[in-house]
Structure 1
Amino acid sequence: MGTRTNREEEHIDNGAEMEVLSIERVFEEEKVPGWREQLTLRAFAVSLLLGVMFSVIVMKLNLTTGIIPSLNVSAGLLGFFFVRMWTKLLERFGALKQPFTRQENTVIQTCVVSCCGIAFSGGFGSYLFAMSETVAQQSSEANDAQNIKDPKLGWMIGFLFVVSFLGLFSLVPLRKIMIIDFKLIYPSGTATAHLINSFHTPQGAKVAKKQVKTLSKFFVFSFLWGFFQWFYTGGDDCGFKAFPTLGLQAYQNKFFFDFSATYLGVGMICPYLVNLSVLLGGILSWGIMWPLIERKRGDWFPADLPSTSLHGLQGYRVFIAISLILGDGLYNFFKVLGRTISGFATQIKEKRSSIPLSADTTKPLADSGVSFDDQRRIEVFLKDQIPNPVALGGYVAIATVSIITLPHIFHQLKWYHVLITYIIAPVLAFCNAYGCGLTDWSLAATYGKLAIFSIGAWAGAAHGGVLVGLAACGVMMSIVSTASDLTQDFKTGYMTLASPRSMFVSQLIGTAMGCIIAPSVFWLFFKAFKGVGIPGSDYPAPNALVYRNMAILGVDGVSSLPKHCLTLCFIFFVMSILVNLLRDLVGKKRARFIPLPMAMAIPFYLGSYFAFDMCIGSMILFVWERIDKAKADAFGPAVASGLICGDGIWTLPQSVLALAQVRPPICMKFLSRNANVKVDEFLAKLS
């Protein structure tokens, strides 16, 4: 997959002045610090402070809505301002020994995100808390002692330490293929990199100043727009995000424009094919398939099932999406594996230089038409190699410790359950990192659900299968989530010339922080507030009950899924492989008209609302390119980054307001004409 980047040879006409647009030429005179110099004590001190703050926010959201926004942008911005203030203070007193660089800024962002990411992947609002007696009592099945494990600070910290590091080692050997050869975008990582580069641009660069100014304008607009929207969200399904743009019936089927600045920005960064594939997937699923299957209610599945039951329509949504993702991910995994083996064999045979060749050419970088920015980034990215034996050895060593340790934490979980999970996990980690690189969506929770059903069914109801399924979900989610986060941070580091080695070390330190901070914060919530996990309380943890019910279903086996679900899954799995094969056979020119199965799968499960936002972002960029292509190429990423960053930063004060129990004063809701008449009549009676 290619991506749109700033073009070095295109110019902006600014009066009589013509300026070359290249980020790395602006930084050309600056020496890139070594990977050890990028890892500073002040960076990790700031990371610790921000890690605690973000972990509290994520935990709050975990135990309330369960929806966690990306915090990459917030971490990058706050890290910059904190360290910049510190260095300015030292500079006044002449005590500044090491200037603050964009590489150090990237290290802070990476460490903070990996730390607070444990608060999500640790399952404190989902699989881990679903093991507790509090949640088990809300279900009529599998609430016996062998399927219950109440949270304790000690075993939670131990569990996270033995499962959270594996994901960091699983995809390290594929980092070059994901970032350089596939040129995956990772929209949040790209936006964060543009932000960091903008703040560290030397004052003498006029074009860079314009880019920073453009980013700042759209940052402020996006932030204020998020603030404005907040006033109208004082209840369920309230505000602009619940605006039935295409009508109430379309809204019920997830077809609407939700006025999200983030997705507009993502649409401007993602290639047109990705955005159109997402929209096509939304139309195919929510526009055609789900309404047709809904008509089979009472025939294919019981008519009285709730919408969240996997025995009903939700089962089709989850498993068909997984089938598309697995088909696409497995095809690309084996394709990449074949190219990698072929490339290594060619290098050994021809005794090439130490710089690895790209997947599709044998030309040196200087002669291959690569832009100056990409040349410099590739050189730095390939300079500080993380030896593959270290990555593979680390994975095997940690997996061995985990296989021995986990059965002592969960007595129902057997060593062979963990072993099989660790054999399969790298493939699924690749699938998730690849999909996240296309659309910015991490489906770690979806892969965790796959582990719930497969491992839970394997264990069986008589051997604590519910608890086994939930524990296996935690193992899988931890690997898949951290692997995707690391790859996204590699993309940020690639664009800021941060060493992959410093990125990896920063991830290790941030993960270690998170393994202590996240369970400690959860334990504080659990002890300080009454009724955590109970419906109607301030912290009901709704996803915990959902995960437990899925584990109960997993013990019953996939045969309990609705009629024809497995057949449809098989059809879409094969279709995903055939579409990818067709894309490779027809060539690049024709392949751009064939949709991407991975991108199509995202709205199958989540809905189509964000597809409209992304396509509108694409349309804005398309029109801009027709009007002034040079300016669109130069400032398009800055506009997109400003939209993403502003909306991302707004989530921070919004979360603080939620923590302070400050609720929006207005609920803007939309009703049909008939419903509105009934409401008016009811209010008239009350008056």
Structure 2
Amino acid sequence: MYRYRLIPVLIRKLTSHSPQILQTGGFGSYVFGMSSVIAKQSITAKDPWNIKDPALGWMIGFLFVVSFVGLFSVVPLRKIMIVKFRLIYPSGTATAHLINSFHTPQGARLAKKQVRTLGKFFSFSFLWGFFQWFFTAGDGCGFLNFPTLGLKAYENKFYFDFSATYVGVGMICPYLVNISLLVGAILSWGIMWPLIWDKRGSWYPAEEPQGSLSGLQGYRVFIGIAMILGDGLYNFFKVLGHTFIGLYRQVQASKLGLSVSGHHAANSSSLYDDQRRTEIFLKDQIPTWFAATGYITIAVVSIITIPHIFEQLEWYHILVLYVLAPTLAFCNAYGSGLTDWSLASTYGKLAIFTIGAWAGAGHGGVLAGLASCGVMMNIVSTASDLMQDFKTGYMTLASPRSMFISQIIGTAMGCVISPCVFWLFYKAFGDLGVPGSEYPAPYALIFRNMSILGVEGVSSLPKNCLTFCYVFFAAAIVINAVRDTVGEDIKKFIPIPMAMAIPFYIGGYFTIDMCIGSLILFIWRTINKEKADAFGPAVASGLICGDGIWTLPSSVLALAGVKPPICMKFLSRKTNSRVDTFLLGS
């Protein structure tokens, strides 16, 4: 029976790396942050030496030389992490329990119902996206720009934009995340930005273009960056502390022949299951020499290749990254096993500041920092991801060697599929990355300005912006410290700084969608908790997938020059009267 459980595990391995690489590939962050579109929105560093526009060839090549290293870096440690240290890896364990549940009569029946539910809401979401398309013939048209809370609230980015995707995401995300987003949106767009707007002409030039980072936009971006860095730095040291303490306890426990992270079996049946899992997990060995050879080979290829893709990076920059990478990959994989928290983006930010400053402003340091961020993020992220998946394989009695091979295949697929999907969006939507557009890509600007800060300093920030950054950086650390100090009953009412920072630049419209998703789930759980817990994820997944799949045909239509037939706009009474007067006069 157990051999059939390998099938869903392998399918997950083969398909999971496309979305993973879509995240670590940097198409919405460091890669797109290199482009001229984002450079135009930055304070400085607009010279061609710090700009590299996306191209399908170099993106695929870059991903191929950096995405496989993390897989080889932690393979020799799988026995220590999974069997000896018995780390939990909550996501991997949860996935394993879900797969195992499919192989029971009750689980099989429930899975069929969940698939039917997903299909229904997938169809609804796809058709809703298709319907909305007809009304988006121009800028500011369609349900996406419906001023549901009034025109004044709409001006301050507070409205429901009828996005099935964000409603579905809101149903999946914990309540506290959605409330934190809403708190951040109210604090920034509801209070701070209107007050700072009144200071124009005093704190920053009144005639400054709206999207300039020397004006109000600078406060939006850099205060958000300060909160993200404060939260990331706090969690970095927190997880690192957990890692070192856990390692110390493991070493001490191994001397005494005890187990710290795991639990001894409560009965003979579970003891037999553990022995069987360990036997199968250790049966198909992946030789250490193979992993070491693979790592060194890919590292050499990267050291030779990457400087040709990014001339701003020298070979010794890449060498230093690959020397440090195994240690950082281990720390991230171990911390992920303890806390389920991957700090890949934090390690990437460290690379931005260190390599960018090392390269220097006059030698393309901004682009060098962004490229090194991609190298480091891909290594440490795939390392922790692989260990999560090994834990899933351990729990489901899947062959580790087969899983590793499928990881390689899935990663290769992701290196091709993810850039192609991004390229389709990049070509279909001419305003990709433009503030106020359908896809503003806020993290691209954030990552680029992080690199600028690391290379050129903070001298070009608007007045008092640095003071605000210090305050919100400290506030993020204090809030996290308080959250870790108080009990669970109080902790669930304290917002998460990282989530609060996201709306600072984008606005509150998507938080409204996500809070509505939370409200739907809350009401559903109040009426029927068991049914909501069973089918809520299926409904959410259907909403997200249907809306997401619709973007592909809409992109093809845009590439083919097919435009929607109707523009639906919403005007104030005074503006409408002026439009009527103008039309009558003409």
TM-score normalised by structure 1 residue count: 0.64
1:259 matched to which residue of 2?
Answer: 162
CA distance in structure 2 between the aligned counterparts of 1:298 and 1:143, rounded to whole angstroms:
28
Instruction: Give a deviation string over 1:533-581, Cα, whole Å, max 9, x none.
Output: 9x9xxxx999999699857776533232223333333333333333233
Considering Cα pairs closer than 8 Å and 6+ residues apart, tell me whether 1 or 2 has the greater RCO: 2
1:219 matched to which residue of 2?
Answer: 122
CA distance in structure 1 between the aligned counterparts of 2:26 and 2:412, rounded to whole angstroms:
15
**1:652-667 matches, cutoff 5 A:** 652-667=552-567
CA contact (8 A) 2:34 2:50 kept: no
1:316 maps to a residue whose letter is F
Instruction: Give a deviation string over 1:397-430, Cα, whole Å, max 9, x none.
Output: 7556645654455454235544666659959996
1:621 matched to which residue of 2?
Answer: 521
1:322 matched to which residue of 2?
Answer: 228
Q: Cα distance, 1:143 vs. partner?
A: 4.0
Structure 2 residue 17 is matched with structure 1 residue 31: no
Q: Cα distance, 1:256 vs. partner?
A: 1.8
Q: Cα distance, 1:603 vs. partner?
A: 2.3
Q: Cα distance, 1:344 vs. partner?
A: 1.9
Structure 2 residue 575 is matched with structure 1 residue 669: no
1:297 matched to which residue of 2?
Answer: 200
1:52 matched to which residue of 2?
Answer: none
Structure-2 change in CA distance of 1:519 and 1:651 (3 Å) = closer
Structure-2 change in CA distance of 1:617 and 1:325 (3 Å) = same
CA distance in structure 2 between the aligned counterparts of 1:605 and 1:117, rounded to whole angstroms:
20
CA distance in structure 1 between the aligned counterparts of 2:212 and 2:274, rounded to whole angstroms:
48
Structure 2 residue 549 is matched with structure 1 residue 645: no
Q: Cα distance, 1:670 vs. partner?
A: 1.8
1:465 matched to which residue of 2?
Answer: 365
SS of structure 1 residue aligned to 2:459: helix
CA distance in structure 1 between the aligned counterparts of 2:532 and 2:418, rounded to whole angstroms:
42
Structure-2 change in CA distance of 1:228 and 1:271 (3 Å) = same
CA distance in structure 1 between the aligned counterparts of 2:347 and 2:125, rounded to whole angstroms:
32
1:247 matched to which residue of 2?
Answer: 150
Structure-2 change in CA distance of 1:462 and 1:103 (3 Å) = closer
CA contact (8 A) 2:74 2:330 kept: no
Higher normalized helix content (fraction of residues): 2
Instruction: Give a deviation string over 1:33-76, Cα, whole Å, max 9, x none.
Output: 48xxx5xxxxxxxxxxxxxxxxxxxxxxxxxxxxxxxxxxxxxx
1:82 matched to which residue of 2?
Answer: none
Q: 2:509 aligns with which of 609, 615, 631?
A: 609
2:137 matched to which residue of 1?
Answer: 234
Structure 2 residue 32 is matched with structure 1 residue 126: yes
Instruction: Give a deviation string over 1:303-344, Cα, whole Å, max 9, x none.
Output: 333343333334434422432432343244224314532552
TM-score normalised by structure 2 residue count: 0.73
CA distance in structure 2 between the aligned counterparts of 1:304 and 1:213, rounded to whole angstroms:
56
Identity %: 54
CA contact (8 A) 1:282 1:600 kept: yes
CA contact (8 A) 2:64 2:415 kept: yes
SS of structure 2 residue aligned to 1:309: coil
Q: Cα distance, 1:246 vs. partner?
A: 1.5
CA distance in structure 2 between the aligned counterparts of 1:524 and 1:647, rounded to whole angstroms:
16
Instruction: Give a deviation string over 1:662-684, Cα, whole Å, max 9, x none.
Output: 32222222222222222222222
2:181 maps to a residue whose letter is V
Structure 2 residue 476 is matched with structure 1 residue 572: no
2:581 matched to which residue of 1?
Answer: 681
In structure 2, list runs of 5 or more residues that go unmatched.
none
Q: Cα distance, 1:106 vs. partner?
A: 1.9
Q: Cα distance, 1:102 vs. partner?
A: 2.5
1:330 maps to a residue whose letter is F
1:273 maps to a residue whose letter is L
Q: Cα distance, 1:232 vs. partner?
A: 1.8
Structure-2 change in CA distance of 1:128 and 1:510 (3 Å) = farther
Structure-2 change in CA distance of 1:495 and 1:307 (3 Å) = farther
CA distance in structure 2 between the aligned counterparts of 1:458 and 1:155, rounded to whole angstroms:
24
Pairwise CA RMSD: 5.5
Structure-2 change in CA distance of 1:648 and 1:682 (3 Å) = same
Q: Cα distance, 1:379 vs. partner?
A: 9.4
1:559 matched to which residue of 2?
Answer: 459
1:244 maps to a residue whose letter is P
SS of structure 1 residue aligned to 2:115: helix
1:340 maps to a residue whose letter is G
CA distance in structure 2 between the aligned counterparts of 1:304 and 1:428, rounded to whole angstroms:
51
CA distance in structure 2 between the aligned counterparts of 1:565 and 1:438, rounded to whole angstroms:
34
1:592 matched to which residue of 2?
Answer: 492
CA contact (8 A) 2:281 2:397 kept: no
Structure-2 change in CA distance of 1:126 and 1:252 (3 Å) = same
Q: Cα distance, 1:287 vs. partner?
A: 2.1
Structure-2 change in CA distance of 1:148 and 1:601 (3 Å) = closer
Structure-2 change in CA distance of 1:501 and 1:661 (3 Å) = farther
1:357 matched to which residue of 2?
Answer: 261
**1:219-618 matches, cutoff 5 A:** 219-311=122-214, 312-345=218-251, 347-352=253-258, 357-358=261-262, 362=263, 364=265, 384=281, 398=298, 402-403=302-303, 406-407=306-307, 409-415=309-315, 417-418=317-318, 423=324, 426=328, 455-476=355-376, 478-479=378-379, 504-515=404-415, 550=449, 555-618=455-518
**1:195-206 matches, cutoff 5 A:** 205-206=108-109
CA distance in structure 2 between the aligned counterparts of 1:544 and 1:582, rounded to whole angstroms:
27
CA contact (8 A) 2:223 2:472 kept: no
Q: Cα distance, 1:219 vs. partner?
A: 2.5
SS of structure 2 residue aligned to 1:568: helix
1:47 matched to which residue of 2?
Answer: none
SS of structure 1 residue aligned to 2:502: helix
Structure-2 change in CA distance of 1:411 and 1:476 (3 Å) = same
CA contact (8 A) 2:122 2:542 kept: yes
Structure-2 change in CA distance of 1:459 and 1:111 (3 Å) = closer
SS of structure 2 residue aligned to 1:558: coil
User: Number of matched residues?
Assistant: 561
SS of structure 1 residue aligned to 2:32: coil
Q: Cα distance, 1:218 vs. partner?
A: 2.3
CA contact (8 A) 2:125 2:542 kept: yes
CA contact (8 A) 1:127 1:471 kept: no
Shifted more, 388-397 versus 634-643: the winner is 388-397
Shifted more, 508-517 versus 233-242: the winner is 508-517
Instruction: Give a deviation string over 1:69-125, Cα, whole Å, max 9, x none.
Output: xxxxxxxxxxxxxxxxxxxxxxxxxxxxxxxx4334323422544576687649897
CA contact (8 A) 1:119 1:514 kept: no
Shifted more, 314-323 versus 198-207: the winner is 198-207
CA contact (8 A) 2:28 2:441 kept: no
In structure 1, list runs of 5 or more residues that go unmatched.
1-29, 39-100
2:533 matched to which residue of 1?
Answer: 633
1:308 maps to a residue whose letter is G
**1:125-204 matches, cutoff 5 A:** 126-127=32-33, 130=36, 143=47, 158-166=61-69, 168=71, 181=88, 183=90
CA distance in structure 2 between the aligned counterparts of 1:504 and 1:642, rounded to whole angstroms:
30
Q: Cα distance, 1:620 vs. partner?
A: 1.9
CA distance in structure 1 between the aligned counterparts of 2:105 and 2:421, rounded to whole angstroms:
40
SS of structure 1 residue aligned to 2:567: coil
CA contact (8 A) 2:43 2:460 kept: no
CA distance in structure 2 between the aligned counterparts of 1:501 and 1:669, rounded to whole angstroms:
57
